[in-house]
A = this chain, B = another copy of it.
Amino acid sequence: MKLRELAAALGAPFKGDPETEVASCSSMKNAVKGSLIYLEDEKLLGSAQKCGASAVIAPPGINAGLTVITAERPSLVFARAVSILHPQEKPAGKRHPSAAIDPTAKIGEGSDVGPFVSVGAGSVIGRGARLHAGAAIGQNVTVGDGCVIFPNAVVHSGSKIGDRTVIHAGCVIGGDGFRFVPDKNGAQVKFPHVGTVRIGSDVEIGANSCIDRAVLDETVIGDGVKIDNLVQIGHNCVIGNNTVIAGCAGISGSVRIGRNVVIGGQAGIRDHVTIGDNVMIAAKSGVVGDLEKPGVYAGLPAVPISEWRRQAAAISRGPETLKRLAKLEKRPTKPL
């Protein structure tokens, strides 16, 4: 691809020879002739100049002799360049003969169905979707257009998934939640889960993550939500649009999370908590109460991060505090 073609496709201005060949996106480390790299700011300008790349996506004002595609947000435009220069294989309406599609299920036009995929009775898969090897889709599931279900993911009966949503390998969508009621003998009686899961459009759910079905109603994952690997979302949760949840986080049941929330890795949220829009929760935090005001929270229990930083500083000074305290106690208590 020529620089001028790529720049046109990206809708971005460029400086340098329009006929420059741009073959692939690359890190600086592995850049060669034909590589396109990106620069967020001037810090790595020297490396960029020396790395051998043919072109760089950089913010306005940086050029220094390089062939540049200019972008206010280089990483965002680079992400789009990757899509253009490294196009994903598109679904082609192939169905592997081994797939077990119930006769009452419908697979939309142009969708690929891999080997050992099962789709249960009454399920409807949209157009241009990809169901990879071993994906197990239950009964009466709805999967929208352009979705990708990666290998060995499981979508339980009754789940509803919007368009262009990506379910990574090994995910379990719509399994029973964890609610048991002890009887008088101490045995745990299962609370049957007859609710469902509804996942919006443009969602991405990481490998081996689990989203439980609701007890009676719906567990809801809003549009544009991005969930990392090995995340647990309990029954009845409602998660607002564009919220981002990092790996190994655990969201208990009936948690309500707003829009554009960011939850760090290994964070945990107690059941029935409400998290407001635009809240950020630091990695490893434990949220035990509502966090309604936008801002960054950290700690166990999670508090505003400025408060947590003061607490953490006091903890690190704890040993010194004990010494200072002992010294004070040795002061004479009466006038000499």
Contacts and interface: CB of A to CB of B under 8 A. Distances in A.
B319 A311 contact: yes
Interface stretch (A11-19, A44-52, A59-67, A178-186): A178-186
A128 interface: no
A234 B216 contact: no
A210 interface: yes
A192 B86 contact: yes
A248 to B, nearest CB: 4
A334 B329 CA distance: 14
A170 interface: yes
Interface stretch (A1-9, A73-81, A104-112, A289-297): A73-81
A178 B206 contact: yes
Interface string A4-37: 0000000000000000000001110110000000
A302 B118 CA distance: 45
Contacts of A189: 76, 79-80
A190 interface: yes
B181 A73 contact: yes
Contacts of A83: 192
A181 B229 contact: no
Which one of A88, A170, A190, A229 has the highest number of Cβ atoms from chain B below 10 Å of its Cβ?
A229
A129 B327 CA distance: 67
A207 B172 contact: yes
Nearest to A301: B312
A250 B252 contact: no
Contact of A322 (B169, B181, B317, B329): B317
This chain's copy number in the assembly: 3
A134 interface: yes
A322 B204 CA distance: 45
A92 interface: no
Interface string A164-181: 001011101001101011
Interface in A209-235: 210, 212, 215-217, 224, 226, 228-230, 232, 234
A217 B247 contact: no
B333 A335 contact: no
A43 interface: no
B265 A268 contact: yes
A121 to B, nearest CB: 11
Nearest to A317: B322
A209 to B, nearest CB: 8
A171 to B, nearest CB: 8
A163 interface: no
B247 A250 contact: yes
**10 A-B pairs closest in CB distance:** A314-B318, A335-B335, A136-B151, A100-B115, A172-B207, A310-B319, A154-B169, A133-B136, A118-B133, A248-B250
26 contacts: A25-B194, A73-B181, A75-B181, A82-B191, A116-B116, A116-B134, A132-B136, A133-B136, A136-B151, A154-B169, A154-B170, A170-B172, A172-B207, A172-B208, A178-B206, A190-B204, A210-B230, A247-B250, A311-B316, A311-B318, A314-B318, A314-B321, A315-B315, A321-B322, A325-B325, A328-B329
